[in-house]
Chain A
């Protein structure tokens, strides 16, 4: 081998392959970040999401009060800028005298966790079944597709209400109910992409050099459809968060002793005319998070979709 004076030559020194993989991964992430930086709305969304996540993780340190601590002497206190409000309770208190800001901070934990876990399971199940069904077709595809069609016939919220009223409220039940229907969209997306990709010549070429079917699915095709799944997953996180809030609002989601935005909105709706803040601020927190997630999702689509990039 001749020595090259090019800048990449040092990569041909003996390097640890695992380190190399890591370096490739970071380089790809950095590349994505470089494009994201130039996309103002996506960047804004990302920043807000990061703030939410940080505050959810650091909730015990930044929340001024214990979110479940009741103080009946200070019920229905308005936020500090309104008449009768004080800086003791920046966003006021609810009907049991619990500090609203603290509850919103803690409520973020539930929303983010449910959103991520429910979407995560959906992606896992949907993408796996979708790749296998789309690549191999046959009996597996028939069965799974019909089952997916069946699930598609139900509106998501109605379905989740049904499952939750059977299982009862609870964190893991909620994740199960949301993932049980959530995988269908990923299944259909990945299956469709698979049907397109598997006819491409690079797949035939991979077969002609003796790669196995599973290797073709997971190491040749999967990287080609990863970006579409990423975009849908990002948007779905927001959707799942709204569903969790809706179920909690109906008393079917998270048990009432755990602060969650949906149940907070529900709890305040009786007092909406006298103490609007009890329902309004958790609702705003929810809306802002979902908006940010959608902005990020749209931004990722702009960046990752090669069809849009050409224009």
Chain B
């Protein structure tokens, strides 16, 4: 369904060009759930925005392909891109509080997303005679969507404003907006980061249910390896703009290959294991405008070898559906 090949997105800065997404390769089948994991600034969100061609100015995609059902989105015209956004590929954002427009009723905002792509217009007839029936049809659909994402008493909540919703309900409303056109791919950019843990679980359950009932493919961007382990079939770990490891979730969690993934796993607490110390990864994320070594993780790596400094690195297939970017394998 989705195939990203050699995607490279750069941001020119005063210190030089920052490569925010560096030769990203990713393939995804319809209905799959992929987790994109990494710390802040590692290029997860930029990769997502690149898929939709929404990279904020002055960033731009310099090379690579984003094939969506065989069509290269990088080459699409702005108008064609607009027809794809929301309809074929929808996105939900990190902070639901600010993602809903504060001056419009929640129901109307969901209805608007139906209207943009003319979802209901065929059934209801055209302006002006069909207008009132269309409004009715659209409202029914909105209520149905709100029910589906688990907003209680949707009839009443249709007419409420975003500030009258709790964070979890706002995120549900945003998911309803994303679902309105039944997209085939849903990009969820840290959808649970701003929410309580209990609400997090509910939202993830909702996303999983949507995946099961509609067959919507989901890319979940998160910095929480625990969430990704729980939710995704496949995990993609990013570091400094590059994919460093990719593989089936269980494999990656049980048997992490890349030293960075190992470090990440050691730095999160687990309740099932015996007592052990949490080990942070030493050092800080390198300055992306000024990468000294070929391997961006070289100076923080506990398994670094002298040849790491200069050896050519590529994402290598190590069997079992696993890929890793490290000289050790």
Minimum CB–CB distance for A218 against chain B, Å: 13
CB pair A8 B155 closer than 8 Å:
yes
B127-152 Cβ-contact flags toward A at 8 Å (1 or 0):
00001110110011001100000000
Shortest CB-to-CB span from A13 to chain B, Å, is 8
The size bracket of the interface on B is 35 or more
Contact B132 A14 (CB under 8 A): yes
Instruction: Say yes or no for B62: interface residue by CB 8 A criterion.
Output: no
A15-B135, A211-B116 given; A4·B86 CB < 8 A: no
Q: In the complex, what's the smallest C-beta–C-beta distance from B194 to chain A, in angstroms?
A: 11
Partner pick for B82 among A6, A7, A210, A220, CB 8 A cutoff: A210
CA distance A14 to B82 in the complex (A): 31
Of all chain A residues, the one with the shortest Cβ separation from B84 is A210
Taking beta carbons and an 8 Å cutoff, which residues of B are in contact with A? 52, 54, 82-87, 90-91, 93-95, 98-104, 113, 116-117, 131-133, 135-136, 139-140, 143-144, 153, 155-156, 158-159, 174, 177-178
Cβ of A1 and Cβ of B140 under 8 Å apart? yes
Q: How many residues of A contact B (CB 8 A)?
A: 30
A207 engages B54 (CB within 8 Å): yes
Contact (Cβ within 8 A) A202 B98: yes
* A1 x B143 contact (CB < 8 A): yes
Chain B CB count within 10 A is highest, among A11, A18, A200, A201, for A201
In angstroms, how far is the closest chain A Cβ from the Cβ of B197? 22
- A209 CA to B159 CA, complexed, in Å: 21
> Given A6-B156, A8-B158, A17-B135, do A210 and B85 touch, yes or no (CB 8 Å)?
yes
Tell me the bound Cα distance from A207 to B78 in angstroms. 11
A209-B90 CB under 8 A given contacts A1-B140, A16-B132, A20-B135: yes
Q: Tell me which of A8, A14, A224 contacts B101 (CB under 8 A).
A: A224
A208 at interface (Cβ–Cβ under 8 A)?
Answer: yes
Give the nearest-CB partner of A138 in chain B: B57
Please state if A4 and B85 are interface contacts (CB–CB under 8 Å).
no
Contacts of B113 in A (CB 8 A): 209
B132 contact set on A, CB distance < 8 A:
14-17
Question: Contacts of B178 on A, CB cut-off 8 Å?
Answer: 209
- Given known pairs A14-B133, A15-B132, the reply for A204 and B54 (CB within 8 Å) is yes
CA distance A58 to B135 in the complex (A): 43
**B83 interface neighbour in A17, A205, A210, Cβ under 8 Å:** A210
16 contacts between A and B (CB under 8 A): A4-B153, A8-B155, A8-B158, A8-B159, A11-B159, A14-B133, A17-B135, A20-B135, A200-B98, A202-B102, A204-B54, A206-B101, A208-B90, A210-B84, A223-B104, A224-B103
